[in-house]
A and B are shown apart, each in its own frame.
Chain A
Amino acid sequence: MLRQTTYLTKRYGVPEGWTLPVYERDGGYQQAKRALSMTREALVDEMKLANIRGRGGAGFPMGVKWSFMPWPPKPEKPHYLVINADEGEPGTFKDRTIMELDPHAVVEGCIIGCFGIGAHAAYIYVRDELHLSKARLWGAIKEAREKGYLGAKPFGIDYPVEVYVHTGAGAYICGEETSLLNSLEGKRGEPRLKPPFPANAGAFGMPTTVNNLETIAAVPVALAMGGDAFSKLSDLHDQKDGGCRLYGVSGHVNKPGIYEACVGLTLRELIYDLGGGVKGGEMLGVIPGGSSCPILRPDEVVNAPDAKSPLHRWHGKNVLDVPMGVETYRALGTMLGTCCAIVLNKNTDIVLAMHNLMRFYRHESCGQCTPCREGSAWLFRILDRMTHGEATMEELDRLHEIADNIMGNTICAFGEGTAMPALGFLRKYRKEFEEYVRTKGKSGTGRLAL
């Protein structure tokens, strides 16, 4: 059932909605003030009840992540809160809307987050291209500081909090949490081996929590509503996937954009009810949550006869009718990712689409691990030959092999982020790829745009 909400997007489209007076008119900063007078345990428990799954891709429960921080903080080991607003995933554009249209929600979330993890400083890592986002965030920080909500004594309470914006310099890999930390420290954004996890040794070698920007922006809303009530907005409350979130849809739809709804929205609702339907007729496929999530075909049916499967309730139904949740999508063999879908209509040249994505991954591999660096380039080279009508069947099989060999052989998840969507394309559109090779590209439409 389509349940659109406006908890997170209340100030979208409101004149001067990004300024302090508008935010305060809506009750802004009351939750930060309240949080600073709670105990840390009570705050973290409330957040656990809210069941906010990380909105950045991996979907880890936020409250649980906060509870991992060593407690109590040692004076010689200050804690840090780092907000991931790198947003480089193709198809994903939700965090940018929050920064531009509701930056105070981020700042308030940071104050609450700092208290919850025992930090006194938060760094919001924003990609440098987003000049308006940076300006709006700095503007919000300045307004909050002038009002005494940040600084040595926020709201007159003896718990210093500072929030800073830190910019990247153009590297998708810096959305990966450990490379983001390296970038924050002034290094090349190359991922680190885990363990140690950031909760033990993160920014500047100190205990650190890395949260996605939308995740932290949802914190004041969840606290105001009460954790349990917030969680129960969701259809997937029983799977500990709570609240409401932002959904994006782009590509071949009539009304691309960002929409807010309760967790549990289906892809069909996102594409047809919110996105206005597929542009130019039928759908060829949909990438559900950013380009590293394996593509789904509109004719796929859920096969989950096992009553223990998180998908059992939807056994026999079309995949487009499964609620979009972290667990349900994992069980479907794809990922929820950032909840921003890319729709491809039936005139799309599937080989060109994969070629486009693999060019992206080749460009963005940090180069640290050989399977990823060489593999992503190799995948692209073969696809490039294929688009020129030069690839053989043997090379088509080699694409599988290369992708298989990237999986599990790299320091970070970028390797899987390349290989999994590649395998998704190859397995689900095998016939189209074979035909493409056989006809030297003549079976393709040669077009991506309508």
Chain B
Amino acid sequence: MTKFALSPDREKHVEEILSRYPNRQAACIPVLHVCQEQNGWISDEVVEWVAARLDLSAAHVKGVVTFYTLFNKEPVGKHQVWVCRTLSCALRGADEILHHCEKRLGIHVGETTKDGKVTLRTAECLASCGTAPMIQVDKDYYENLTTAEVDRILDRLIK
């Protein structure tokens, strides 16, 4: 079992994050984000590493990880596709976009394609209601979508 460690660049980033707050605990969520960026998900090793780095109990860190939807509790695909399906998006065709993604990728919501490239998810409101329907791919928003545009986006991901 390899021990988790951050790259020197990311370690420097953690130092900078710690300087923003009056105590170490406040850095918990930002530091978990940095770890997830490197590791792809929050394993128990990562939980222990964060706990040790911030002088917290592993139970506390685990509690934080399980509370928030953006922390991956298991490995995910190389890319993550989030389809917003809350009311404003649903009124403008989010369900069709979602079904299209499922059909196109050959997986259901929550699953990852066999080649490990794409994980498909649903999101609860991504604050893009005026430009619905929309999806988020990794860090980018794609808005005012049609199924043809979804095809083009997914093609780029899985090729």
| Count of A-B contacts judged by CB separation below 8 Å | 154
Report whether B86 and A360 are in contact in the complex, using a CB–CB cutoff of 8 Å: yes
A444 at the interface (CB under 8 A from B): no
Specify which of B32, B82, B88, B125 is in contact with A88 (CB 8 Å cutoff).
B125
A348 at the interface (CB under 8 A from B): yes
Which of A126-134, A263-271, A317-325 is the interface stretch? A126-134
- Least Cβ distance of B2 to chain A in Å? 25
Specify which of B27, B64, B86, B126 is in contact with A129 (CB 8 Å cutoff).
B126
- Residues from chain A with a CB closer than 8 A to the CB of B96 are 449
Specify which of A171, A250, A364 is in contact with B88 (CB 8 Å cutoff).
A250
- Residues from chain A with a CB closer than 8 A to the CB of B60 are 187
- Residues from chain A with a CB closer than 8 A to the CB of B22 are 78, 204
A interface footprint on B1-42 (CB within 8 Å = 1, 0 otherwise): 000000000000000000010110111111011000000000
Question: How extensive is the interface on chain A, given as a class?
Answer: 35 or more
Which of A38-46, A90-98, A380-388 is the interface stretch? A90-98
Report whether A169 and B130 are in contact in the complex, using a CB–CB cutoff of 8 Å: no
Q: Which of A170-217 contact B (CB under 8 A)?
A: 170-172, 183-190, 204
B70 at the interface (CB under 8 A from A): yes
Specify which of A127, A189, A250 is in contact with B129 (CB 8 Å cutoff).
A250
Report whether B91 and A342 are in contact in the complex, using a CB–CB cutoff of 8 Å: yes
* Measured CA separation A257–B129 after assembly (Å): 8
* Measured CA separation A357–B86 after assembly (Å): 7
- Residues from chain A with a CB closer than 8 A to the CB of B158 are none
* Measured CA separation A246–B132 after assembly (Å): 19
For B141, the closest partner residue in chain A by CB is: A132
* Measured CA separation A257–B69 after assembly (Å): 27
* Measured CA separation A166–B33 after assembly (Å): 11
> Given A129-B70, A171-B68, are A90 and B86 also a contact pair (CB < 8 Å)?
yes
Report whether B28 and A172 are in contact in the complex, using a CB–CB cutoff of 8 Å: no
B77 at the interface (CB under 8 A from A): no
B131 at the interface (CB under 8 A from A): yes
For B90, the closest partner residue in chain A by CB is: A448
Specify which of A93, A130, A168, A450 is in contact with B68 (CB 8 Å cutoff).
A168
Report whether A258 and B130 are in contact in the complex, using a CB–CB cutoff of 8 Å: yes
Report whether A256 and B25 are in contact in the complex, using a CB–CB cutoff of 8 Å: no
Report whether A95 and B26 are in contact in the complex, using a CB–CB cutoff of 8 Å: no
B148 at the interface (CB under 8 A from A): no
B interface footprint on A87-128 (CB within 8 Å = 1, 0 otherwise): 111111101100000000000000000000000000000011
- Least Cβ distance of A183 to chain B in Å? 7
Report whether B93 and A449 are in contact in the complex, using a CB–CB cutoff of 8 Å: yes
Report whether B131 and A256 are in contact in the complex, using a CB–CB cutoff of 8 Å: yes
- Least Cβ distance of A289 to chain B in Å? 12
A interface footprint on B110-152 (CB within 8 Å = 1, 0 otherwise): 0000000000000111111111100010011100000000000
- Residues from chain A with a CB closer than 8 A to the CB of B28 are 186-187
> Given A91-B129, A169-B71, are A342 and B88 also a contact pair (CB < 8 Å)?
yes
Report whether A250 and B130 are in contact in the complex, using a CB–CB cutoff of 8 Å: yes
Among A78, A87, A171, A250, residue most surrounded by chain B Cβ atoms (within 10 Å): A250
- Least Cβ distance of B151 to chain A in Å? 19
- Least Cβ distance of A264 to chain B in Å? 22
> Given A128-B70, A169-B29, A184-B26, are A92 and B87 also a contact pair (CB < 8 Å)?
no
- Residues from chain B with a CB closer than 8 A to the CB of A169 are 29, 32-33, 68-71
- Residues from chain A with a CB closer than 8 A to the CB of B139 are 131
Report whether B129 and A340 are in contact in the complex, using a CB–CB cutoff of 8 Å: yes
* Measured CA separation A90–B130 after assembly (Å): 11
* Measured CA separation A216–B134 after assembly (Å): 28
Report whether B20 and A251 are in contact in the complex, using a CB–CB cutoff of 8 Å: no
- Residues from chain B with a CB closer than 8 A to the CB of A188 are 63-64, 67
B92 at the interface (CB under 8 A from A): yes
- Residues from chain B with a CB closer than 8 A to the CB of A78 are 22
- Residues from chain A with a CB closer than 8 A to the CB of B69 are 169-171
Write the residues of chain B forming the contact surface with A, with a CB cutoff of 8 angstroms. Answer: 20, 22-23, 25-30, 32-33, 54, 56, 60, 63-64, 67-71, 82, 85-88, 90-96, 123-132, 136, 139-141
25 sample A-B contacts, Cβ–Cβ < 8 Å, listed by A number: A78-B22, A88-B124, A91-B129, A92-B125, A93-B127, A128-B70, A131-B140, A169-B29, A183-B29, A184-B26, A185-B25, A188-B64, A204-B26, A248-B130, A251-B91, A342-B88, A356-B86, A357-B86, A360-B87, A360-B124, A364-B124, A366-B67, A448-B90, A449-B95, A450-B92
4 tightest A-B contacts by CB?
A186-B28, A169-B68, A170-B70, A170-B69
Write the residues of chain A forming the contact surface with B, with a CB cutoff of 8 angstroms. Answer: 78, 87-93, 95-96, 127-132, 162, 164, 166-172, 183-190, 204, 248-252, 256-258, 287, 291, 340, 342, 344, 348, 353, 356-357, 360, 363-364, 366, 448-450
- Beyond A169-B32, A250-B132: 15 further Cβ-contacts under 8 Å? A89-B125, A93-B129, A129-B82, A162-B20, A166-B26, A169-B70, A171-B69, A186-B29, A188-B63, A189-B67, A250-B88, A256-B132, A363-B124, A364-B124, A448-B91
